[in-house]
Chain A
Amino acid sequence: GQQVMQIPQYQHVQEGEDFTTYCNSSTTLSNIQWYKQRPGGHPVFLIQLVKSGEVKKQKRLTFQFGEAKKNSSLHITATQTTDVGTYFCAGISWGNTGKLIFGQGTTLQVKP
């Protein structure tokens, strides 16, 4: 079945450093979504990418969708303490609309 792998599992950075998490799918995706979960909270939608090679930016966050639509990345520039949380990628395979499969997540800790 469809699998979504995400690395690293944990990342500790000093405030101001950059951060990147990578996501790989075992199948070609129709779209990929990113979510953020704060400690003790629920996942909150950040963005959706649908086109091959797509790049989207939200302030200090840059999201990319690979050319083959099997991988994605999230890059945060100059991290802040408010970026703390777990970032999940989640993908929908072609022909499997309805099954949004999540990666294991990357937990980001930011030292002030």
Chain B
Amino acid sequence: NAGVTQTPKFQVLKTGQSMTLQCAQDMNHEYMSWYRQDPGMGLRLIHYSVGAGITDQGEVPNGYNVSRSTTEDFPLRLLSAAPSQTSVYFCASSVTGAGSRYFGPGTRLLVL
């Protein structure tokens, strides 16, 4: 099993550009989520999904969109990137919403 995979590993964007961060898991986990990590801030929940077709907002959802059309994939979309979105983004999956999270390796995003 590959576990949780994320692409790309690194990305540089200009302000106003859009992009999609990809996340996939091959463990048949129902639950998936996106976090961003900034120095001194811990990990902050952006959006999460309890199953295909169901998504909900986390702590810091503004500026990000998600959809969950399959169990395996949970992409995160930045519609108009801003410098404040410079961060490391982690995707995580879990058997259930209450269970332990398996994290992907992360995507480092720089918005200029």
Contacts and interface: CB of A to CB of B under 8 A. Distances in A.
Interface residues of B, number: 27
B82 to A, nearest CB: 23
B31 to A, nearest CB: 7
Interface of A: 1, 6, 9, 30-31, 33, 35, 41-45, 48, 88, 90, 92, 97-105
B98 interface: yes
Interface of B: 31, 33, 35, 40-45, 48, 50, 56, 58-59, 90, 92, 96-106
Contact of A43 (B45, B58, B97, B101): B101
A100 B48 CA distance: 10
Contacts of A48: 99-100
B104 A42 contact: yes
